[in-house]
């Protein structure tokens, strides 16, 4: 038998099984290890790392009896529901405009619409505050010329507005493909029957988009439930508390954290989000009746906007300027000024002092360096892990591949704050790993667990497009599963792996909520430094640090597009 021949009873078969079982156990450990300690802590009368553990349900009673807890739940549900509706309304309209009409410049406008996906929600919140907050640039300008502004972001509607506009690109992304692939024969039939453009959109195109809209609604509701940045920046000063800010206050900002309440609240959030993900799966599982794209599909004919073309272009550009470009631009401008106000000439306040302060304090430069290391090295390791998971799930005969796929996608249901809290508790139970607990690599580990589904989303579609005949041919020639995967499948996946690495790099670099329970002195990252500086009122330094984050992410996206020609979204 030749050296390359597969021997079912020999080393090659054992090697493939060892890799598959080993990776399956690793993923299971990575996902389950931080979640089980949360359940355990919720049932303990004392902190997890204290001696003398006693099981109890008292934490659930204490949580329900917490003063104002009913109001917190109500605020959370209202905030999540209305944020989702606003985001879906704007995202669905944008999907139709940019993919199904003859709107001039729709491709460029669609690219600009997606900009918030590249920027941390925390940074966008700071941008909105700098522009439209109580002392924001536009607010001050409005007050000096027109009187009191009609908006107030320190209210529940204000929070919903900011969060909804921040999440609209995600709804657009899910709806766009569905709108672009609608069967043109159905729309043509409606037109032949005498329906106008608006009636065809309402009665044919929009119903065909319902699976994507349903998916997007559940996803945006889940994200709104776990959102911390907007409630922290705009709700906390007005004493509007939601579940995320409640957990943040009880577990982080207090001098004596109540881990029983934190774990119990986190567990309830996790159960709710798991239920939403189950609902999402059920919705997607019953959408065959909406499938209209067959083997002879033609490109849909764009709806003609006629005299509304240019007014709609002006409206979209005004939206992009007010909701996307201006908040980011003003935040960057604030980084280069000692004080920003329409009452003070810009030339008098231009300064590099904010960046000089960052350089003078090693904790801030260390946070930038830590984020770069976590994103570059952790993103590479996570990309390899995702590639192997995808290969096992979609290109192997591993008997537990369906279970592995489910476990790998489960972190969709785990909010970043809860993932970080789980890793904190897990390492509290393992005192021998205390050195790792106080390093940046526990943060990288938590990021990896949280963003496995995002990585699979970048890799799996390309893998499914690669014919299995290629690696099967190698197997016929004597190669085992690992050899075929390493020499054929992974090389063909290079463009998708580049996209996966970039998505993970950006996700790691801009995340903040996962790290708030995990960082310690010397292991700060950009997101945690931004939050600490914000609570200290250091608006200029916050803007400078946020600007550095924006520049690095923009450079990363630009380089990937220029060198590899890879589009991350859209």
pLDDT at residue 526 in the model = 93
The 10s digit of each residue's pLDDT in 317-364 is: 999 999 999 999 999 999 999 988 888 888 889 999 999 999 999 999
Question: Within a domain: residue 263?
Answer: no
- Which two three-digit tokens encode residue 423? 């890793």
Are residues 202 and 329 part of one domain? yes
**Residue 286 in this model has a pLDDT that exceeds 50:** no
Question: DSSP code of 5?
Answer: -
CB atoms within 10 A of CB 290: 15
Question: Within a domain: residue 220?
Answer: yes
**Residue 52 in this model has a pLDDT that exceeds 90:** no
Higher-confidence residue of 238 and 51: namely 238
Which one, of 504, 529, 494, 498, lies nearest residue 515 by Cα? 529
Residue whose token pair is 């996570």: 382
Higher-confidence residue of 536 and 189: namely 536
Are residues 356 and 339 part of one domain? no
- Which two three-digit tokens encode residue 569? 């979204």
List CB contacts of 154: < 8 A, sequence separation 6 or more. Answer: 134, 234, 235, 237, 238, 240
pLDDT at residue 463 in the model = 85
**Residue 376 in this model has a pLDDT that exceeds 90:** yes
Are residues 344 and 237 part of one domain? yes
Confidence of residue 569 (pLDDT cuts 50, 70, 90): low
Higher-confidence residue of 282 and 68: namely 68
Question: Within a domain: residue 547?
Answer: yes
The 10s digit of each residue's pLDDT in 57-92 is: 989 999 999 999 999 999 999 999 999 999 999 998
- Which two three-digit tokens encode residue 407? 């476990």
pLDDT at residue 567 in the model = 66
Question: Within a domain: residue 52?
Answer: no
Are residues 378 and 347 part of one domain? no
Examine the fold and report which residue of 334, 351, 368 is the final residue of a domain before the chain moves on: 351
Residue whose token pair is 């310690």: 520
Q: Assign residue 376 the CATH number of its domain.
A: 1.10.3720.10
Which one, of 528, 531, 526, lies nearest residue 236 by Cα? 531
CB 273 within 8 A of CB 413: yes
Q: Which long-range contacts (CB under 8 A, 24 or more apart) does 6-14 make?
A: 6/475, 6/478, 6/479, 6/480, 12/480, 12/482, 12/483, 13/480
CB 167 within 8 A of CB 83: yes
Are residues 445 and 324 part of one domain? no
Q: What is the mean pLDDT of residues 279-295?
A: 51
Show the 3-state SS of 296-345: CCCCCCCECCHHHHHHHHHHHHHHHHHHHHHHHHHHHHHHCECCCCCCCC
Question: Within a domain: residue 403?
Answer: yes
- Which two three-digit tokens encode residue 78? 């209202």
**Residue 299 in this model has a pLDDT that exceeds 90:** no
The helix or strand, by DSSP H or E, that contains position 535, with its residue range, turns out to be helix 526-535
Are residues 337 and 360 part of one domain? no
Written as one string, the DSSP assignment of 60-124 is: HHHHHTSTTHHHHHHHHHHHHHHHHHHHHHHHHHHHHHHHHB--TTHHHHHHHHTGGGGS-HHHH
pLDDT at residue 357 in the model = 92
Q: Which of 5-9, 178-182, 361-365 has the lowest mean pLDDT?
A: 5-9
Q: Which domain holds residue 151?
A: 70-257+314-351
Domain count for the chain, please give it.
2
Confidence of residue 380 (pLDDT cuts 50, 70, 90): very high
Are residues 446 and 344 part of one domain? no
Which one, of 392, 439, 512, lies nearest residue 28 by Cα? 392
Are residues 417 and 324 part of one domain? no
The 10s digit of each residue's pLDDT in 186-243 is: 555 555 555 555 666 655 566 666 667 777 788 889 889 989 999 999 999 999 999 9
Question: Within a domain: residue 180?
Answer: yes
Question: Within a domain: residue 490?
Answer: yes
Are residues 469 and 448 part of one domain? yes
pLDDT at residue 327 in the model = 95
pLDDT at residue 389 in the model = 95
Residue whose token pair is 């590639």: 387
CA distances from 361 to 182, 354, 367 (A): 55, 11, 10
| For the chain, percent of residues with pLDDT exceeding 70 | 86
The helix or strand, by DSSP H or E, that contains position 454, with its residue range, turns out to be helix 440-465
Confidence of residue 473 (pLDDT cuts 50, 70, 90): confident
- Which two three-digit tokens encode residue 434? 């205390």
**Residue 23 in this model has a pLDDT that exceeds 60:** yes
pLDDT at residue 289 in the model = 41
Residues paired with residue 8 on neighbouring β-strands, in sequence order: none
CB 516 within 8 A of CB 531: yes
CB 196 within 8 A of CB 213: no
C-alpha to C-alpha distance for 212 and 181, rounded to whole angstroms: 12
Q: Which long-range contacts (CB under 8 A, 24 or more apart) does 141-148 make?
A: 141/342, 144/342, 144/343
C-alpha to C-alpha distance for 56 and 71, rounded to whole angstroms: 25
Are residues 389 and 251 part of one domain? no
Are residues 473 and 388 part of one domain? yes
Question: Within a domain: residue 285?
Answer: no
SS3 content of the chain, % helix, strand, coil (to 5): 75, 0, 25
Whats the size of the chain, residue-wise? 570
Supply the pTM of this predicted model: 0.86
Q: What is the mean pLDDT of residues 363-378?
A: 94
Residue whose token pair is 């003609």: 304
Examine the fold and report which residue of 351, 374, 399 is the final residue of a domain before the chain moves on: 351
Are residues 173 and 129 part of one domain? yes
CB 94 within 8 A of CB 203: no
pLDDT at residue 363 in the model = 92
Q: Which of 219-228, 250-259, 473-482 has the lowest mean pLDDT?
A: 473-482
Q: Which of 293-302, 352-361, 365-374, 379-388 has the lowest mean pLDDT?
A: 293-302
The 10s digit of each residue's pLDDT in 411-460 is: 988 888 899 989 988 888 876 665 677 789 999 999 999 999 989 888 88
Residues paired with residue 303 on neighbouring β-strands, in sequence order: 101
């Amino acid at each position: 038998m030749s050296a390359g021949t597969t021997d079912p009873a020999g080393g090659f078969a054992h090697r493939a099984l060892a890799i598959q079982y080993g990776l399956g156990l690793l993923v299971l450990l990575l996902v389950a290890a931080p979640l089980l300690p949360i359940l355990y802590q919720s049932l303990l009368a004392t902190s997890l790392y204290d001696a003398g553990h006693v099981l109890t349900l008292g934490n659930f009673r204490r949580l329900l009896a917490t003063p104002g807890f009913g109001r917190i739940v109500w605020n959370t549900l209202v905030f999540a529901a209305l944020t989702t509706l606003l985001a879906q309304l704007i995202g669905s309209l944008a999907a139709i405009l940019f993919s199904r009409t003859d709107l001039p410049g729709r491709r460029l406008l669609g690219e600009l619409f997606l900009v918030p996906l590249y920027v941390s929600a925390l940074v966008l919140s700071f941008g909105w505050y700098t522009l439209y907050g109580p002392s924001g640039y536009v607010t001050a300008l409005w007050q000096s010329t027109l009187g009191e502004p009609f908006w107030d972001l320190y209210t529940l509607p204000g929070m919903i507005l900011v969060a909804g506009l921040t999440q609209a690109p995600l709804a657009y992304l899910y709806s766009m493909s569905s709108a672009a692939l609608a069967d043109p024969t159905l729309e043509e039939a409606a037109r032949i029957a005498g329906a106008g453009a608006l009636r065809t959109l309402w009665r044919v195109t929009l119903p065909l988009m319902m699976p994507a809209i349903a998916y997007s609604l559940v996803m945006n509701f889940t994200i709104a439930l776990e959102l911390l940045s907007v409630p922290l920046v705009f709700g906390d000063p007005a004493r509007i508390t939601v579940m995320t800010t409640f957990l943040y206050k009880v577990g982080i900002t207090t001098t004596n954290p109540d881990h029983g309440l934190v774990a119990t609240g986190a567990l309830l959030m996790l159960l709710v989000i798991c239920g939403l993900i189950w609902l999402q799966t059920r919705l997607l599982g019953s959408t065959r009746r909406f499938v209209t794209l067959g083997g002879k599909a033609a490109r849909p004919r764009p709806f003609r906007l006629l005299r509304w073309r240019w007014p709609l272009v002006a409206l979209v550009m005004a939206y992009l300027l007010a909701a996307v470009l201006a908040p980011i631009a003003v935040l960057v401008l604030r980084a280069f000024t000692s004080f920003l106000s329409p009452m003070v000439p810009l030339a008098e306040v231009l300064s590099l002092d904010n960046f000089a302060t960052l350089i003078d304090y090693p904790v801030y430069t260390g946070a930038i360096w830590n984020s770069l290391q976590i994103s570059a090295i952790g993103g590479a390791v996570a990309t390899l892990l995702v590639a192997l998971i995808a290969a096992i799930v979609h290109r192997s005969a591993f008997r537990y591949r369906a279970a592995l796929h489910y476990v790998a996608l489960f972190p969709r249901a785990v909010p970043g704050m809860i993932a970080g809290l789980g890793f904190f508790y897990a390492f509290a139970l393992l005192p021998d790993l205390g050195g790792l607990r106080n390093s940046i690599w526990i943060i990288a580990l938590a990021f990896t667990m949280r963003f496995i589904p995002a990585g699979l989303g970048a890799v799996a579609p390309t893998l499914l497009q690669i014919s299995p005949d290629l690696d099967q041919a190698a197997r016929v020639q004597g190669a085992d599963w690992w050899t075929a995967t390493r020499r054929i499948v992974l090389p063909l996946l290079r463009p998708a792996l580049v996209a996966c690495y970039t998505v993970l790099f950006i996700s790691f670099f801009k995340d903040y909520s996962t790290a708030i329970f995990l960082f310690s002195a010397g292991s700060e990252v950009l997101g945690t430094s931004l939050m600490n500086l914000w609570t200290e009122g250091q608006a200029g330094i916050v803007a400078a640090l946020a600007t550095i984050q924006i520049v690095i992410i923009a450079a990363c996206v630009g380089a990937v597009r220029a060198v590899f020609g890879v589009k991350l979204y859209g």
